[in-house]
Amino acid sequence: MQTPIFEGLKQYIKENNISFHTPGHKGRHTTINWEKYIPTIDLTEVEGLDNLQDPSGIILRSQKLAAKTFKSKSTFYSVNGTTGGIYIGLSAITNPGDSVLIQRNCHKSVYNGIILNNLVPKYIYPNYNEKHNIITGIHPIDIENSLKENPDIKAVVITYPSYYGICSHIEKIVDIVHKYDKILLVDEAHGSHLVFSDTLPKSSLEVGADIVVQSTHKTLPSFTQTSMIHVGSDRVDIDKLKDMYNLYQTTSPSYIFMASLDIARAYMAEEGKERLNKHIQNIKKCISEIEEIDRVSIFTGDIEDSTIKDVDITKMLLSIEGIRGTELEKILREKYNIQLEMSDYYYALALTTLMNTEEDLNSLVSALKDISKWAPYEEKRDFNFEEFKPIISRSIREGFFSKKQSCKLKDSIGRTSASFIIPYPPGIPIVVPGEIITEEIYEYINFLKKNNVEIIGLLDYNKEKINVAI
């Protein structure tokens, strides 16, 4: 029997890697022993098990408990991940043809939602911190200026915290958005744990965001593809949200996924809080040890950067002098059985959760100490990763649905892209459909390719072609 996916999974398990990547449960039976229940709880909408499309029993009770735990007015389970939650949230607060203000470096799911709902995106750009070679937060004044200049904007979409754990001034942003009577949707995919500790940045729900979508599976102990949609204010039309929920949500939801959300919520409402706070103490100790290692740095913020309100320290952004981030990730996996979440040219990201043990962190510190001693210095060129200002040839929807032809990447300069070009992770587009591919974008894509950054959207085995609009 040929089972390539299953065989690949079994092989990975044999490696016994330490997990500093999603999902948040880290493969550990901390909440319940899932082996005892799977596959017997893989059920459907039989009597007594309720229906996610119109819950009135056990699912409704669970979602109400989640709303209480996460401090929302209403909570809906998304078994299509935060991607599905973003589609639902966007469609609930807009109508086709509306303008929305989004971060240029938002996740692909926001762009997909714009295409699906036929919306018009307007962009705000995060700060590029040249000192640390990292994209940081948003200037709240940029949001206010955009809302002044574009009164037709119906909603604002931001990411909080960023993939790297950087938190913009969320309270100021909420105040500004509501001052202009707009609705704020927050992609809080990496922040479902924030509400459970007073020492972490505040959850956007706590400061009045209207809709917040969280990837419970990323930072809490639920299964991959399980997320929650939280409604935080009366500005959201709940009836419309329910309609859009049933439009985008699968009609065959996994009861394993729903049970996973239920159990993760219950765990965090009780002993999970204590475990998270213990983990934060372990992280602080780990950071102090890393800061003492020669050549090794960890980004914990920059007091001179006014766009940074706070940093989520459970996301450890690491760098070693003379080593590319992509190479550091590779070394940790191949020589130390430590798998990180992602890497870019400058940094490698260890995504920790309360399910990581003190021993996990000690192993990481030990590996970094070792690498700093033996790893040779690479020749690295300085590269500015500031966001490109797009040259828009046609709407994103027109570009996506246009007739396409493939051409060599070099020959695409000056043409209109019909594809998303996305380094993944983190899933943030370099160019989206309808935008002109410039010489600078071409050089940037080549730079990423040469430095082993995976790019989604390029064609053929060698990633040498791209779809352009005719």
Query: Where is average pLDDT lowest: 27-41, 109-123, 450-464?
Result: 450-464
Query: Where is average pLDDT lowest: 35-39, 183-187, 288-292?
Result: 35-39
Q: What is the pLDDT of residue 447?
A: 86
Distance (Å, rounded) from C-alpha 214 to C-alpha 85?
8
List every span in the chain annotated with CATH 3.40.640.10: 34-265
Q: Is the pLDDT of residue 453 over 90?
A: no
List every span in the chain annotated with CATH 3.90.1150.150: 4-19+273-374
Q: Assess if CATH 1.10.357.10 describes domain 4-19+273-374.
A: no
Query: In terms of C-beta density within 10 A (0-12 exposed, 13-18 middle, 19 or more buried), how is residue 404 classed?
Result: middle
Q: Is the pLDDT of residue 278 over 90?
A: yes
Mean pLDDT for 83-107 is: 97
Q: Is the pLDDT of residue 424 over 80?
A: no
pTM reported for the whole predicted model: 0.95
Confidence category of residue 449, pLDDT binned at 50, 70, 90: confident
Peptide bond into 161 cis (omega under 30): yes
Check: CB of residue 173 under 8 Å from CB of residue 144: no
| Pick from 197, 239, 179, 236: nearest CA to 213 | 236
Superfamily covering domain 396-469: Orn/Lys/Arg decarboxylase, C-terminal domain (3.90.100.10)
Mean pLDDT for 55-81 is: 98
Q: Is the pLDDT of residue 425 over 70?
A: no
CATH class as words, domain 34-265 = alpha beta
Distance (Å, rounded) from C-alpha 263 to C-alpha 8?
28
Check: CB of residue 102 under 8 Å from CB of residue 124: yes
Mean pLDDT of the chain: 95
Confidence category of residue 428, pLDDT binned at 50, 70, 90: confident
List every span in the chain annotated with CATH 3.90.100.10: 396-469
Confidence category of residue 459, pLDDT binned at 50, 70, 90: confident
Q: Is the pLDDT of residue 430 over 70?
A: yes
Q: What is the pLDDT of residue 257?
A: 98
Dihedral angle over CA of 344, 348, 351, 357, nearest 10: 160
Distance (Å, rounded) from C-alpha 185 to C-alpha 110?
10
Q: Is the pLDDT of residue 80 over 70?
A: yes
Mean pLDDT for 280-308 is: 97
Cα 61 to the center of its chain, rounded Å: 28
Confidence category of residue 382, pLDDT binned at 50, 70, 90: confident
In this structure, how many other beta carbons lie within 10 angstroms of the beta carbon of residue 112?
A: 18
Q: What is the pLDDT of residue 212?
A: 98
Q: What is the pLDDT of residue 307?
A: 98
